[in-house]
Amino acid sequence: MEIVLAIVVGVLYTVSVYLMLRRSILKFIIGLIFMSNATNLLVFLSAGLVPGSPGFIKPEGVAAETMADPLPQALVLTAIVIGLGIVVFTLALKYKFFELTGTDDLDQLKQTDS
């Protein structure tokens, strides 16, 4: 299964880079989201895949050997939330940019004055 998911990660990265190289700012933002997702999945996979055994501890003792590693999950959780912050802010910025310049073309960003 790891191989299949690794391919998924690769495809997500390919799509995100392709989108980020577009001139349209909207596509750029979508590319950003894909990149964030791909990276989250990559970090998540690095812990190994453990189906059906989440990181829950019973009061009476330490859990079994096969339990999923909680640390990458904590990292990814933070990353997802920060990713949301970035995307939302970029979207708002893009909206303002369009409002001021009336274009969606990144190449028009060369001038500093609107």
Partner 1 sequence: MLHLLIVILIFSFGVFLMPGKMKKYNAIVLSLVQAGAFLFFLTRVPDITNLTFGHTLIEWIPQLGLNIEFVLDGLSMVFALLVTGIGALVFLYAGAYMKSYTGTNKFFFYLMLFSGAMLGLVLSGNLIQLFIFWELTSVLSFFLISFFHEKESARKAALQSFYITGLGGLSLLAGIILLGSVVDSYSLTEWLANPQAIQESKLYLPGLLLILTGVFTKSVQFPFHFWLPEAMQAPAPVSSYLHSATMVKAGVFLLARLNPVLGGTQEWIYIITLIGILTMLTGSYFALTQTDIKGILAYTTINALGVLVLLLGIGTRESIMAAMLFLFIHAFYKATLFMIAGLIEKKTGTREINELGGLVKYMPVTFVIALLSLLSMAGLPPLLGFLGKELIYEAKIQSPGIASVVLILGVTSNIFMVAISLFFVRKVFLGKYKTTNKVPNEKGFAFLIGPGILALLSLLLGLSPSNLGDAVIKPAITAVSLENVEIKLKLWHGFNQVFFMSLFTIVAGSFLFVAMLKSKKLMNAWRKFNSIVFSIQFEQVFAWILEKFVMVSTMKEKAVQHGYHRYYILTIFAFTSILLWVQFFYTQTPMQEINFTLKPFYISGLAVVIILVALASAVLRSRIVTIVAMGVAGYGIALIFLYYSAIDLAITQILVETLTIVMFMAILQRLPRFAVLSSKATRLRDFSIALVFGTIMTFITLKAINVNLNRPISDFFLENSYTRAYGENVVNVILVDFRALDTLGEVTVLTIAAVGVYLLLLPKKNKL
Can residue 57 be called a binding residue for partner 1 (CB under 8 A)?
yes
Q: Which of 95, 50, 42 is nearest to 70 (CA)?
A: 50
For partner 1 (CB under 8 A), the number of binding residues is: 86
Neighbour tally for 23: CB within 10 Å: 13
Can residue 55 be called a binding residue for partner 1 (CB under 8 A)?
yes
Contact 99/63 with Cβ under 8 angstroms? no
Can residue 68 be called a binding residue for partner 1 (CB under 8 A)?
yes
Q: How far is the CB of 86 from partner 1 (least distance, A)?
A: 7
14-43 positions binding partner 1, by CB under 8 A: 14-24, 26-27, 30, 33-34, 37-38, 40-42
Can residue 105 be called a binding residue for partner 1 (CB under 8 A)?
yes
What DSSP state is assigned to residue 54? Answer: -
Give the span between the Cα atoms of 13 and 103, in whole angstroms.
Answer: 27
